[in-house]
Amino acid sequence: MTRLGPVPAVLALVVTAGLTVSTVAPALAAEPSSARGARSFEVVGSGDGARYGICKEPEGAGWRVFARVDNRGSKIAHRGVLRNAAGTSRTFRAAPGRLSPVRSVHAARGSRVDYVLAAAQSGGGGQVRLTEMRRC
């Protein structure tokens, strides 16, 4: 996992850990509340009082990877990005002092996901192998 570093003021494109992760239109729907359940997120990145949490659940021949930003300790908004090895991305935003919606992507067994945690003036991210990720 990579330490957080600076990003441009307007988050249009984030380059992290040698990977380019494009943000996706916010038209992507949040997980329905019935699908959220009581998940236990592992913190893989943090900055400015925000924490990026991630976990996985079995799905078919792979995993469903869930992510959210816990922004309850921050006074500024943060954006999260979750991307699987196939290039499917999900973006989500947490207002100051709030939790973001939960987003998810499918990931093949043995693969990895990329994550980004960014604010207006800072951000960073990294990769997490599914073998290193705990279940929800």
CATH code at position 81: 2.60.40
How large is the average pLDDT for residues 77-100?
Answer: 96
Token code pair at residue 127: 């990769």
Residue 98 has pLDDT above 90, yes or no: yes
Paired tokens of 77: 């908004």
Q: Model's pTM, two decimal places? A: 0.73
Answer with the residue of higher pLDDT: 10 or 108. Answer: 108
Domain presence at residue 74: yes
Instruction: Please identify which residue in the block is written with the tokens 């992290």.
Output: 16
Residue 83 lies in a domain: yes
**34 within some domain:** no
Question: Which residue's entry shows tokens 């441009």?
Answer: 8
Residue corresponding to tokens 């997490």: 128
| Count of the separate structural domains present in the chain | 1
Instruction: Return the percentage of the chain with pLDDT > 90, whole number.
Output: 66
One-letter identity of residue 133: M
Question: How high does pLDDT run on average in the chain?
Answer: 79
Write the CA distances from 103 to 7, 8, 24, 74, integer angstroms. Answer: 22, 24, 12, 20
Give dist(CA 40, CA 51) in Å, integer: 13
Please check the confidence at residue 115 and state whether its pLDDT lies above 90. yes
Side-chain-side CA neighbours of 9 within 13 Å: the count stands at 0
pLDDT digits (tens, 9 = 90+) for 42-58: 999 999 999 999 999 99
Confidence band, pLDDT 50/70/90 cuts, at residue 17: very low
**The tokens of 37 are what?**
């359940």
9: which residues sit within 8 A by CB, 6+ positions away? 120, 121
Is residue 93 over pLDDT 50? yes
Domain annotation covers residue 105? yes
Structure confidence at residue 37 as a pLDDT band (50, 70, 90): low
- Domain range for residue 118? 43-132
Residue 61 lies in a domain: yes
Q: Could you tell me if residue 94 is inside a domain?
A: yes
Instruction: Tell me phi and psi for residue 128, to 5 degrees.
Output: -130, 125
